[in-house]
Amino acid sequence: MWFKRYGWVLLICLFFSATAQDNSPYSRYGIGDIVPNRNIISRSMGGVGVAFAVDTSLPYIPVGMLNISNPASLGSLSSNSYINTLFDVGVEVDKHTLKSNTTPGKYTSNNINISYVQLGFPVASKKMELKGMQWGLSFGLRPLTRINYKVEDNKRLTNIDSVNLLYEGNGGISQANVSTGIRIKNFSFGLSTGYSFGSKDYSTRQTFINDTIAYYRNHSSRNTRIGGVFLNLGAQYQIKTKNGLLQLGATAALQQNLTGTADELDETFTYNSYDEPVSIDTVNYKNNNKGTVKLPATYSLGFLYRNTHWLWGADFDYTAWDSYSFYGTKDPAVKNNWTLRVGAQYYAADKFTPINKYWRFVKYRTGAYFGPDYINIGKKRNEYGFSVGAGFPLTSFQRLRLGGEYVTLNTSLEVGVRGDKNSASFRENFARFSFGISMGQRWFQKRKYD
């Protein structure tokens, strides 16, 4: 079993998540920093992935991956393939650098996190597949957003003393999902549902700066627990051409109305001799305050063309952030946004390639994306990035043919920018290195002996 042989991968991922460090000031807005809803293969191609379908039928060009962005792709899982059960796990390492467009200096943050964990397998019987229908199922867990920031600001108030403001926040939302997809001839459709859960915790500490008057310091905090059911829909259609295959895809992540339970606190405080905050008087306290958190819908369209050696395509995403609200309050810092993505993959091997030509079996990928940032402070900000990556087989094709097992290490390096010299006060440069393990094995088949 590859779970035993490659269990070290899971241990590394757990270690990374335990040592993750993050500090992103822009996660103050909306529901936090959005985690890419793509696996590592798609990220290395600029995020192209809506039309990706699993193809494990060909031993010399397997596309053994679970497409977490479109559940319809699960309809391509087949019990009769060389490999029919897939396990994917991804890890990302981010570095963000914020630079002010008006003042010198910069701010850098780093973080390491698990991107997703997903298991998929076919559920259609051989009789169903003989009639032209395939059916796949998957389970998984992934982060949707992340919140982690600590920002200090000094302001001079009119006719009043200067004030020091300390903003802190943490939390984020994750999703536990079950997804299914059915394929009938060339058409596939699917849905993904499950539970979104997490928190949004933030606080503000206000300290007046005065040499002669001792003002009370103020502290406000809101700790909100969030949860609710989500539903995503997907469809794919395949068209065979003379020299390849054209795949079309579409998805709709429907608006989520999540339930929030908040604890609110307003108090005055002071610092003790150890520079720790100590409460003086509670001004306001509310426990288990119920409310609704509305997350926006996202719609995506894409195509992918593939032949023996090449795979290339494009996606278009649109998110309706004007429907977002937190306890009935709109966030003026978030705006509707769209993203255009393009990407390609080159694979040198074919069915005649000798198995000792390792580098011909490596998949080389690149891509790019562009669009307005959903965070809009002051002026409109654009976000764009470029990516490269590769897929390295970790098992031989002899093991695939004889044992029905195939393992790939996928890598991706994304470099991008949020904002520009003409945007609001900050320009953010980021680099994201991601790697993932895709494990495929032949399950649900009895061995035959002569």
Per the model's pLDDT, the better-predicted residue between 124 and 15 turns out to be: 124
Closest Cα to residue 49, out of 230, 249, 201, 233? 249
- Per-residue model confidence as pLDDT tens digits over 91-114: 999 888 877 666 666 777 788 888
Domain membership flag for residue 402: yes
Per the model's pLDDT, the better-predicted residue between 442 and 66 turns out to be: 66
* Residue 423 neighbours by CB distance under 10 Å: 20
Residues 6+ apart with CB under 8 A from 77: 54, 56, 84, 86, 120, 121, 122, 134, 135, 136, 181
**Residues 384-392, mean pLDDT to the nearest whole number:** 95
Residue-wise burial string across 322-357, b where 16 or more C-beta atoms lie within 10 A, e elsewhere: eebbbeeeeeebbbebebebbbbbebebeeeeeeee
How far apart (Å, rounded) are the C-alpha atoms in residues 234 and 319?
A: 16
Closest Cα to residue 249, out of 194, 189, 202? 189
How far apart (Å, rounded) are the C-alpha atoms in residues 271 and 277?
A: 5
Q: Is the distance from CB of 227 to CB of 197 less than 8 angstroms? A: yes
The token pair at 340 is 């255009």
The per-residue pLDDT of the chain, averaged, comes to: 83
State residue 20's pLDDT score.
47
Domain membership flag for residue 384: yes
Q: 14: phi > 0 → left, psi -120 to 50 → alpha, else beta; which?
A: alpha
Helix (H) or strand (E) holding 447: none
* Residue 406 neighbours by CB distance under 10 Å: 26
- 3-class state of residue 117 by DSSP: strand
State residue 16's pLDDT score.
45
Q: What are phi and psi of 11, to 5 degrees?
A: -65, -40
Domain membership flag for residue 260: yes
CATH number of the domain within which 293 lies: 2.40.160.60
Domain membership flag for residue 113: yes
Q: Is the distance from CB of 443 to CB of 73 less than 8 angstroms? A: no
Domain membership flag for residue 446: no
What is the band of 352 on the pLDDT scale with cuts at 50, 70, 90? confident
- Which range of 139-143, 210-214, 446-450 scores highest in mean pLDDT? It is 139-143
For the chain, what percentages of helix, strand and coil (3-state, to nearest 5) are there?
10, 60, 30
Q: Provide the residue range defining the domain that includes 109.
A: 2-441
User: How many helices (DSSP H) and strands (DSSP E) are in the chain?
Assistant: 5, 18
Alpha-carbon dihedral sign for residues 401, 402, 405, 408: negative
pTM, full prediction: 0.86
Using CB atoms within 10 Å of the CB of residue 249, give its burial: 0 to 12 exposed, 13 to 18 middle, 19+ buried: buried
Domain membership flag for residue 325: yes
What is the residue-wise DSSP string for 358-416? GGGGSEEEEEEEEEE-SB-SSS--EEEEEEEEEEEE-S-HHHHHHH-EEEEEEEEEEEE
Domain membership flag for residue 448: no
Domain count, the chain: 1
What is the residue-wise DSSP string for 126-193? HHHHHTTEEEEEEEEEEEEEEEEEEEEEEEE-TTS-EEEEEEEEEEEEEEEEEEEEEEETTEEEEEEE
| C-alpha dihedral (197, 413, 68, 111), degrees to nearest 10 | -10
- Which range of 9-13, 196-200, 359-363 scores highest in mean pLDDT? It is 196-200
State residue 270's pLDDT score.
82
- 3-class state of residue 437 by DSSP: strand
- Per-residue model confidence as pLDDT tens digits over 404-426: 677 889 999 999 998 766 655 67
Beta bridge partners of 194: 177, 230
State residue 214's pLDDT score.
63
Closest Cα to residue 42, out of 318, 371, 308, 302? 302
Domain membership flag for residue 126: yes
Q: What are phi and psi of 9, to 5 degrees?
A: -65, -45
Closest Cα to residue 358, out of 368, 366, 348, 367? 348
- Per-residue model confidence as pLDDT tens digits over 4-47: 555 545 545 544 444 445 567 778 888 888 888 899 999 999 99
Closest Cα to residue 87, out of 206, 21, 3? 3
Q: Is the distance from CB of 404 to CB of 82 less than 8 angstroms? A: yes
Residue 57 has pLDDT above 50, yes or no: no
